[in-house]
Amino acid sequence: MPDVKSLIAAGLGCLLALVLGSAAAAQGLPDDFVFLRDVDPSIRQDIRYAGLNNFVGRRLPGYDAAECVVKRAVARALAQVQRDLAPRRLSLKMYDCYRPARAVHDMVVWSKDGRETPAQHTYNPGMRKADLFRLGYIAEHSGHSTGAAVDLTLVEVPAPKVEAFDPGRLYGDCTAGVRQRAPDDAVDMGTGYDCSDTKAHTAAAGITPAQRQRRQTLVAAMTKVGFVNYAKEWWHFSLPGIGGAAYDFPIAR
């Protein structure tokens, strides 16, 4: 006669497998993608393309939820960075993670529409939209769509309180002082996120020693676990060997 405890254990195991399988199916993620929140909920998230606080000024296609989705190996590496930063009372904050290919295409279309607005120029104060594509700030294909690239920054723990972003207000451009730029509770890196300007280059000369030190702290923490920084954007990192095909599934929690 089968052992009762064994039967109960087997039944619970089957139930757990069904629950996890249903959850994965409901999330609609390819096998190797995960929600970063499920791996490390302590990492802050401010997914800009799911709202209005971005250079396009609207939610991008495919961002149906403000959630960071990445390949599993990327999530584990980010969790390790978070653990390494904890003794310094710092946390990662994600601006963008997996980016559906449809959103990448939308950025390209936007960059070529010929319409220049004051709000748009807060993100690229020294160039036209068309220059963004020509100079490599916007591209037809993005490593974000493979799940291997992320945009992120550092936040002090606890984070300071800042005013809410007002989409009707024209803030100072992304190279202006931190008090003039759009509000962000992250540490001051010398420019805002998604700033298409030489000042946003990781090794830019025109920043203060304190801002340079913060960038170096971020780069060192990410490099330690294998990430590589994109030299034109202090916030952009990718994990070599994890990319592959671009995906276009929507982000929906």
Residue 1 within a domain: no
Which has the minimum average pLDDT: 35-44, 84-93, 133-142? 133-142
Q: Is 252 inside any structural domain?
A: no
* Percentage, residues of the chain above pLDDT 90: 75
Tell me if 251 is assigned to some domain.
no
Number of folded domains that form the chain: 1
Q: Collapse the DSSP code of 133 into the 3-class scheme (helix H, G, I; strand E, B; otherwise coil) and give the result.
A: helix
The whole-model pTM stands at: 0.88
Domain span at 196: 31-238
What confidence score (pLDDT) does residue 179 get? 94
* Mean pLDDT, the chain, whole residue set: 89
- Helix-helix angle 209-224:72-85, to 10 degrees: 130
Q: Which of 12-16, 53-57, 178-182 comes out lowest in average pLDDT?
A: 12-16
Looking at residue 52, its pLDDT comes to 95
For residue 248, being part of any structural domain is answered with no
Q: How confident is the model at residue 66 (pLDDT cuts 50, 70, 90)?
A: very high
Query: CA-to-CA distance for 64 and 218, rounded, in angstroms?
Result: 29
What does each C-alpha distance from 192 to 58, 201, 251 come to in angstroms? 17, 12, 24
pLDDT at 243: 79
| Residue 122: count of CB within 10 angstroms of its CB | 23
Asked, for residue 52, whether it belongs to a domain, the answer is yes
In the predicted structure, residue 17 carries a pLDDT above the cut 70: no
In a domain, 96, yes or no: yes
Residue 108 has pLDDT above 70, yes or no: yes
Q: Does residue 1 or residue 135 have the better pLDDT?
A: 135
Judge whether 204 and 190 are in contact, CB under 8 Å: yes
Domain assignment present for 188: yes
For residue 22, pLDDT over 50 is answered with no
Domain membership of residue 15 (yes or no) is no
**Per-residue pLDDT tens over the stretch 185-235:** 999 999 999 999 999 999 999 999 999 999 999 999 999 999 999 999 999
Query: What CATH number is attached to the domain comprising 164?
Result: 3.30.1380.10
The pLDDT-based confidence of 27 (bands split at 50, 70, 90) is: low
Over residues 41-68, the mean pLDDT reads: 97
Average pLDDT rounded to a whole number, residues 59-72: 98
Q: How confident is the model at residue 16 (pLDDT cuts 50, 70, 90)?
A: very low
What DSSP designation does 163 have? P
Note the pLDDT tens digit of each residue in 115-152.
888 888 899 999 888 888 888 788 788 999 999 999 99
DSSP string of the chain, one letter each residue: ---HHHHHHHHHHHHHHHHHHHHHHHHT--TTEEEHHHH-TTSEE--GGGSS-SSSSSPPTTB-S---EEEHHHHHHHHHHHHHHGGGTEEEEEEE----HHHHHHHHHHHTS----TTGGGT-TTS-HHHHHHTTSS-SS-GGGGT-EEEEEEEESSPPP-PPP-TTS-PPPTTS-TTTSSP--S---SS-TT--SGGGSTT-SSS-HHHHHHHHHHHHHHHHTT-EEETTEEEEEE-TTS--S-----B--
Spatial distance between the Cα atoms of 119 and 109, rounded to a whole number of angstroms: 17
CB-neighbour burial class of residue 138 (10 A; exposed 0-12, middle 13-18, buried 19+) = buried
- CA dist 69 and 207 (Å) reads 32
pLDDT of residue 6 exceeding 80, the answer is no
Q: How far apart are CA 171 and CA 76, in angstroms?
A: 36
